[in-house]
Amino acid sequence: MRSLHPRIRIVWVLQAALSAAMLAAIVGAVGVFFLDLGLWLPAAVFGALFVLFGVHSLLRYRVWRYEVREDAVYLERGVFTRVKTVVPFVRIQHVDSRRSPLERATGLASTVVYTAGSRGADVTVPGLTPEGADDLQRRLKALAIDAEGDDAV
């Protein structure tokens, strides 16, 4: 079982700050323009949400685990609802490696695994170093080709 790269916490906490700021801005706009309230409201909202989201991100990091097994990828994640997924290599349709601006800034990357199932795109492994992501992508690809089933659906 492997955990994600510790630096993913920075990405997630920054994301938490971003969404907290966005919600605070909405609340603040409503407060200032319609209710004549001061700027303390958005500040308080931002503080509370940031703490909430930030703690969630940290917990999320602690829960996240993944493993490349002999014949499947295994993932464990989720703070409130714990989700454990087994994706057999035979079922892998294609593998992406992806980098969002925040990930690029922190030097991280994600790998996305697609299956023909209806929840295929759900399987994302974030918090890898770019080399790690490329390596995982290559390995999964090789294993998927090696494991070829008669047809993928």
Site residues, other proteins (CB under 8 A): 71-72, 78, 80-88, 90-91, 115-120, 123, 149-150, 153
Least Å distance between CB 120 and other proteins?
Answer: 7
Alpha-carbon distance of 134 to 125, in angstroms, equals: 12
Q: Which is nearer to other proteins, 34 or 80 (CB)?
A: 80
In terms of C-beta distances under 8 Å and separation of at least 24 residues, what long-range contacts does 112-115 make, across chains too? 113/73, 113/87, 113/140, 115/87, 115/91, 115/152
Q: Which is nearer to other proteins, 52 or 86 (CB)?
A: 86
Q: Which is nearer to other proteins, 2 or 84 (CB)?
A: 84
Q: Which is nearer to other proteins, 71 or 96 (CB)?
A: 71
Least Å distance between CB 24 and other proteins?
Answer: 27
Amino acid at 91: R
Q: Which CA distances in Å does 80 have to 14, 52, 75, 77, 83?
A: 21, 13, 16, 9, 9
CA-wise closest residue to 130 among 95, 106, 94: 106
Least Å distance between CB 12 and other proteins?
Answer: 20
Least Å distance between CB 76 and other proteins?
Answer: 9
